[in-house]
Structure 1
Amino acid sequence: MPTLRALECLIAVLDAGSITEAAAVLHLSQPALSHQLAALEREIGAPVVERLPRGVRATVIGRAVEADARAALAAADRVIGGGRAAARGDGGRLRLACAETMTAGLLAPVLRKWLRHSPSVEISLVEAGSADELARLVESDRADLAIGPRPTRWTGAAEVIGEEDIVVVLPPGHRVADRDHLTFADLRDEPIVHFHPDNGLAVWLDTEAARHGVALAAVMRTRQAATAAQLAAAGLGIALVPVTALAAPLPGVLKRLRPNLSRDLLCLIGIPGDPLVRRFVADVLRRGIPTTAAVNAKLS
């Protein structure tokens, strides 16, 4: 198969009409350029240029391959240009995965910034119901970066975004709405707007409640934490919701748990050295999890 260098030499010679001038343009010696042409002619099995008393010209074979040679060189330029653009953050494709409870509250602001400032970067997003599913997406090379809670097992690169609190959402006028905080004991026998079993929050919250001797009584289930908060605020029950899922205005009452219930949120990174991935991770870390002050403003 001919090398790109040999094709570059052919096109330079055809454009210049002279081996001497083509060699000067490519910063090659004349013997080195002639060697490239000879290798191309051996590969094809026929001469591609004809030596004249003054200069050279393409043979019939040379004219036949000229268009494809130019196309191959243009394609190679696009490869290099696309790679450089991706390294600058001006192009490329970024495959993201995110816990479905966190997409709107945590990831959306970062995505909005990227769509505004790096519109040529193609971004795809897959949502997952559990941290372990997120880890599998990155491990199987279906995502370059995953954002969510800490998975059961992860041996790759990761960056801790921060610690996320879980809060209780009550309907207005609920019997415990005037308390400063709630415990799991306060939730015993209360109707809970819970999460679908496929959502990792369901198992985790059930496990944490069991540690406090409480079984959460699910009155209904949803996959989305934002939906759970809205349903609880509407009077269908009580919801335990991550702060990243809360969006103002919420017509409900928010209370902290005591002891505090929280979880680490991480960026699981498939290719740590990728410049595009590094830039996105940096923006996620810079954005961070809603601050305590921001949460306090929402809490009663």
Structure 2
Amino acid sequence: MPTLRALECLVAVLDAGSITEAAARLHLSQPALSHQIGALERELGTPVLERLPRGVRPTAVGRAVLADARAALAAAERVVRTGRAVAGGGAGTLRIACAESMTAGLLAPVLRAWHRHRPGVLITLTETTSADALVAALEAGEADVAVGPRPSRRSGHEEAVGREEIVLALATDHPLATRASVPITDLAGLPVVHYHPDNGLGGWLDEVAAEHGTVLDAVMRTKQAATAAELAAAGLGVALVPTTALTRTFAGALRRLKPAPHRDVVTFIVTPSDSLVRRFRSDVRHRGITVPAALLDKLS
């Protein structure tokens, strides 16, 4: 197969009409350029240039391959430009898998900054309700980076983002709303807006409650943490909700639990050498787990 260097020499010679001029343009010696042309002719099995007393001109084969040679060089230049742009964080496609409860509170500010400063990067987002589903997306090659609670099984390279608190969401006129905090044991017998079995948060919360001798009584179930919070605010029960799933406009009441449950939030990737993934992961880490002031006011 012809090398790009050989094709570059052919194009340069035919553009210049002279081996001497082409060699000067490419900063090659004439023997080196002639060697490249010779290698191309051996590959094709026929001459591409006709040597004249003063200069050169293409043979029929030389004319036939010239357009494709230019196209190959142009494509190679695009490869370099694209690769450098992606390496610099200015282009490419980034596929993110995220726990649904963390999209608004954790990822949205980072995604907004990337959209503003890196408009050439196409981002696709897949939300899941299970940390193990995030691992599966990575292993299946469907995502480049995953953000969520620490999964039950490790996969790839994991990096801590922070810890998120689980709080109690409820209607503003709920009897528990008068308290500064609520012991987990006091949830026994209360109607709870709980989580669908597909949402790993539900099983984990059941384990946390069981550690304190309490069973959560599900009055209804949903797959979405943000939905659970809104249903609780509407008076359908109480809900245990990660702070990352709450927005600053949440209309219900929030109370801390005693003891306060926390869970680790991590990013995990398969290819740590990918510069675009590294940049995004770094931005998520620097963002960290933050709680809007409006929600802190509700918890104070």
Return the TM-score normalized by structure 2.
0.96
Partner of 1:177: 177
Give the superposition deviation at 1:294.
6.2
After superposition, what is the alpha-carbon deviation per residue over 1:278-298, rounded to whole angstroms, capped at 9, x for unaligned? Answer: 211121112111148664223
Partner of 1:71: 71
Partner of 2:120: 120
Give the superposition deviation at 1:99.
0.4
Partner amino acid, structure 2, of 1:216: L
After superposition, what is the alpha-carbon deviation per residue over 1:93-129, rounded to whole angstroms, capped at 9, x for unaligned? Answer: 1111100111111111111111111111111111111
Partner of 2:209: 209
Structure-2 change in CA distance of 1:248 and 1:194 (3 Å): same
The 2-side partners of 1:161 and 1:285 are apart by 5
- The answer to whether the 8 Å contact 2:191/2:218 transfers is yes
The 2-side partners of 1:263 and 1:176 are apart by 24
- The answer to whether the 8 Å contact 1:17/1:56 transfers is yes
Partner of 1:244: 244
Q: Which runs of 5+ in 2 are unaligned?
A: none
Partner of 1:257: 257
Give the match's secondary structure for 2:73. helix
Alignment of 1:183-198 (within 5 A): 183-198=183-198
Partner of 1:288: 288
The 2-side partners of 1:88 and 1:155 are apart by 27
Give the match's secondary structure for 2:95. strand
More displaced, 288-297 or 192-201? 288-297
Structure-2 change in CA distance of 1:196 and 1:229 (3 Å): same
More displaced, 270-279 or 61-70? 270-279
Structure 1 segments (4+ residues) deviating >6 Å = none
The 2-side partners of 1:250 and 1:87 are apart by 39
Partner of 1:166: 166
Give the match's secondary structure for 1:232. helix
After superposition, what is the alpha-carbon deviation per residue over 1:146-165, rounded to whole angstroms, capped at 9, x for unaligned? Answer: 00000112142122110100
- The answer to whether the 8 Å contact 1:131/1:149 transfers is yes
Partner of 1:278: 278
Give the superposition deviation at 1:235.
0.2
- The answer to whether the 8 Å contact 1:229/1:246 transfers is yes
Give the match's secondary structure for 2:175. coil
The 2-side partners of 1:51 and 1:203 are apart by 80
More displaced, 145-154 or 26-35? 26-35
Give the match's secondary structure for 1:158. strand
Partner of 1:15: 15
Partner amino acid, structure 2, of 1:110: V
Alignment of 1:26-175 (within 5 A): 26-175=26-175
Give the superposition deviation at 1:218.
1.0
The 1-side partners of 2:291 and 2:278 are apart by 23
Q: Which runs of 5+ in 1 are unaligned?
A: none
Partner amino acid, structure 1, of 2:255: K
Return the TM-score normalized by structure 1.
0.96
Structure-2 change in CA distance of 1:228 and 1:179 (3 Å): same
CA RMSD of aligned residues (A): 1.4
Give the match's secondary structure for 1:94. strand
- The answer to whether the 8 Å contact 2:135/2:155 transfers is no
The 1-side partners of 2:103 and 2:210 are apart by 28
Give the match's secondary structure for 2:176. coil
Matched pairs, number: 300
- The answer to whether the 8 Å contact 1:143/1:270 transfers is no
The 1-side partners of 2:273 and 2:295 are apart by 34
Percent of aligned pairs sharing the same letter? 63
Partner amino acid, structure 1, of 2:207: T
- The answer to whether the 8 Å contact 1:141/1:270 transfers is no
The 2-side partners of 1:254 and 1:291 are apart by 12
Partner of 1:231: 231
The 1-side partners of 2:129 and 2:26 are apart by 56
Structure-2 change in CA distance of 1:155 and 1:250 (3 Å): closer
